[in-house]
Amino acid sequence: MANEHFLPRQKSLAYNGVLGIVTLVATLFLFISGSMIQNNILATVMIVLGLLLVLPLLLIAYRIFTVLTTVYNLDRDYLEITWGLRRELLPMGELDWIHPVSDFETPLPLGFTLLRGSYYTEKEISGLGKTLFVATAPEKMVLVKHEQRYLVISPENIESFMERYEQLSQMGSLQNVQAESENLKMLWQRVWADPWARRILTAGAISLFLLVLTSLVVSLTKQQIVWVSMEYVPAARAMLMAMIGLFFALINTFTGLLLYLQDRVAAFLRNLLWGATILLSLILIFALVFMAI
């Protein structure tokens, strides 16, 4: 019987996919419309609003990534839960019990979730305390008690999951496994403890700030600039450079964090990827200066 168990994904991916497409269309509309308007102030406002929509768009994209990467791995020695950039390792010997939520008379208070169809949060529940949710389908939720804490997961096939758990718990562990917990804060602390990574990420943030500042100054102080097509266009289009720099900076940072989790990947490759943000920002800044001359 397979050790890996997955959660129901269809509804969550469908909802977040539609929400992501709507947000993407709104973002592109603001960018394109803003770059075509002759009024620089109005055009700048529209492009800045488009930049602000990039954040929720990335959050939706990360939620989709989280759902796709969620795995419950049942082993004789541990229950491992991985999702996104997070991971929980629970020794089998420290698990008090696992029960489907349907076994209890009182339903779990799920509360409100903005990104519907997925529950990835930690909340205070009366009688349980802080409970970590790594689930999508309420009707398939399973409650896990690990010492003094609780976790909620939702394997797609509850019967298979529970049968496998009963078998492994009766067999006993073969080796002593220590409980582990990895989250974004811990990952960032590991990255920040690396002197080279800290310097490169700091320089990347400064170069990105200068790119946004340069784009804003050019768009507000100039009426027109020379675009890459060698034609005069509204100066507000300079904000598109900031959008390009921000997009690639976020992609590079996220990809670098993923690579940081892979110990086999050489550190210089991660730093090279993060360093590309600095190079791209500087290239775009110089391009803006020449366009504004």
Q: For the segment 89-107, what is each residue's pLDDT rounded down to a tens digit?
A: 999 988 999 999 988 877 8
287 neighbors 258 (Cβ within 8 angstroms): no
**Could you read off the pLDDT of 151-178 as tens digits, one per residue?**
999 999 999 999 999 988 888 778 888 8
Residues of the chain with pLDDT under 50: 1, 264
pLDDT at 156: 93
Q: Which value, to the nearest 10 degrees, does the dihedral of the CA atoms of residues 63, 65, 67, 69 take?
A: -150
pLDDT at residue 1, rounded to an integer:
45
Q: How many residues does the chain have?
A: 293
| Strand positions, DSSP E, the chain | 4-5, 71-74, 78-83, 86-91, 95-100, 119-125, 129-135, 142-146, 149-153, 180-182, 224-226, 232-234
8 Å CB contact between 260 and 193: no
Structure tokens at 240: 């598109």
pLDDT of residue 183: 82
User: In this predicted structure, what is the pLDDT of residue 263?
Assistant: 60
- To the question of pTM greater than 0.95 for the whole model, the response is no
pLDDT of 112: 59
Number of CB atoms found within 10 A of residue 87's CB: 17
232 residue type, one letter: Y
CA distance 173 to 234: 68
Q: Yes or no: say if 87 and 182 are a contact pair by the CB < 8 Å rule.
A: yes
Give the pLDDT confidence score for residue 265 in this predicted structure: 55
What residues contact 9, with CB distance under 8 A and at least 6 apart? 67, 68, 136
**Residue 37 structure tokens:** 């308007």
SS3 237: helix
CA 105 distance to own-chain centroid: 35
